[in-house]
Chains A and B, each alone.
Chain A
Amino acid sequence: MCTNIAENAYINGWGKGVDGWFNVSQVCVSFDHPTYAPFEHAVNIDFMNIQNGNAKRVAVELDTESAKELIGLLETALAKGKAQKIS
């Protein structure tokens, strides 16, 4: 932990990993060193299912601008859904 920026939430959804689809019960959004992306710091989003100490994970590592764009897309999609009375 270099920045100590790691925000967690319990969620409900499904993600697709190397072994197929699985229920994701937790998301961690950190702003810290990525594992793979070629940036010094990245917005790392880990969708996880942790059972008995073993984590299934779907991970993305984004640069700052991409993360901001993602926020906008999520908000836009939710707003359009709300307008269509989709919940």
Chain B
Amino acid sequence: MPYTTDQYEGMIAETITVQSEDGDRIHAYIARPLGPGPFPGVVLINHLPGWDEYYKEATRRFAHHGYIAICPDIYCRVGHGTSDDVAAQARAQGGVTDDQVVADMSGTAGFIRSLPNSNNKVGIIGSCSGGRHTFLVACRTAGVFDAAVDCWGGNVVQDAEKLTPAQPVSPLDYAKDLDCPLLGIFGEEDQSPSPEQVAIHEEQLKLHNKDYEFHVYQGAGHGFFYYDRPPYRQEQAMDGWGKIWEFFGKLLGN
């Protein structure tokens, strides 16, 4: 429910460290409502351009909507500098490994559940490469996440020639292991994932009787939530955010 004008409202947002399941300590940006809770949790996985301002704003947006939200810096081990410089460095290294991202997200979910004001439910969301990671993590971490949102994740359907040492398995191969409900938000004009790839993804989810809902928006391409980029589509983005609040509210709410 949105805040009313006579209601107390507050949040804290800061950089912390969380422990990945691989034992490493990495930076993370947390935003959480003030108060005893209990609050549901959300883990955000940043997109290709990095652990940037957009993702920190999105983290605070989830806190505004009543979630303990954490966005770990998946590039923390790569180095430090401005977010775009570090992202470029990660790209030059072939990206971070899928195994590492799975460990980072699982560790972050555990951190949220350890908080005294957690309601013990945790969702996960990411866009672009973070959307791919979201689906992958939701498939490879049984019992960890209660809901997952894949926003236009490219390479969920990953052809053999696009596999790399860091990404050795197509996420689609794990579809049978998906362990929580999935919401997919896509643009019909996107090249990656293309509507054909989204259809292949959906086909596998149907085949394995998974709980999912996909929304493919007309007049939208890749990254249509990014208000600071040309692909931004106001009407589709606002509807997409509405779908996210409804989905997480139903599955993570108290």
Contacts and interface: CB of A to CB of B under 8 A. Distances in A.
Given A3-B154, A4-B167, A50-B79, 10 more contacts: A1-B155, A1-B164, A1-B167, A26-B92, A32-B91, A33-B128, A40-B231, A48-B92, A50-B92, A55-B81
Interface residues of A, number: 27
Interface residues of B, number: 35
Nearest to B230: A38
A5 to B, nearest CB: 9
B167 A28 contact: no
Contacts of A55: 79, 81, 85-86, 88-89
A12 interface: no
B208 interface: no
Most buried by A among B79, B92, B129: B92
B222 A40 contact: yes
B195 to A, nearest CB: 15
A2 interface: yes
Nearest to B90: A1
Contacts of A66: none
Nearest to A6: B91
A43 to B, nearest CB: 13
A28 B91 contact: yes
Interface in B79-102: 79-81, 84-89, 91-92, 94-95
A35 B79 contact: no
B128 A57 contact: no
B contacts with A: majority SS? loop
21 contacts: A1-B155, A1-B167, A2-B154, A3-B192, A4-B155, A4-B162, A4-B167, A32-B48, A32-B91, A38-B229, A38-B230, A40-B191, A40-B223, A44-B91, A46-B92, A48-B88, A50-B92, A53-B79, A55-B85, A55-B89, A59-B88
A32 B222 CA distance: 12
B78 interface: yes
A4 B48 CA distance: 11
Contacts of A6: 91-92, 94
B87 A35 contact: yes
Q: Which 5 A-B pairs have the closest CB atoms?
A: A53-B79, A28-B92, A1-B95, A2-B154, A55-B89
